[in-house]
Amino acid sequence: MNFIFSIITIILDQWTKKKAREELSSSLGVRKFNNLAEFRLVYNEGAFLGFLKEKKVLLNIITWGLNLILTVFFFPIIFSKKFSFRGLAYGLILGGALSNGYDRTVRGKVTDFVSFYPRFKVYFNVADFGIFIGAILSIIFDR
């Protein structure tokens, strides 16, 4: 049952990235929520903050190696027939990792589009939020 959260994360992430590519500009951001958020099209060719962007083959090997490890490790919990917050957490993490991994492999870059308190200029996507929220839930419920 918990694998549904992975699928929802992937679908929502891919849909929002597509909308961002269609409707946002890389040169002009749109500020919302009293200037606390900025929506702008940003591409990340590496991992977090561009890490390993010059070594795409190595980055893809690491990405899919980690995704394989996550899938094997999370498999019994994600594919359990009963809901658990631990399964929700792992489903969100795996969905986010798989969706960003897909972009990195197929497009050669990950589409990011939202920054909070935009002064910092770090942009995120739905997959990143899935990973972050999943990690927090895992800390809380993984005992």
Selecting among 13, 103, 128, 142, the annotated active-site residue is 128
Rounded CA gap, 124 and 31, in Å?
A: 15
**Given the residues 13, 103, 112, 142, the one annotated as active site:** 112
103 tagged catalytic: no
Active site residue 142: no
121: left (phi over 0), alpha (psi -120 to 50) or beta: left
Q: Please answer whether residues 20 and 123 qualify as being in contact, where contact means their C-beta atoms are separated by less than 8 angstroms.
A: no
Active site residues: 112, 128
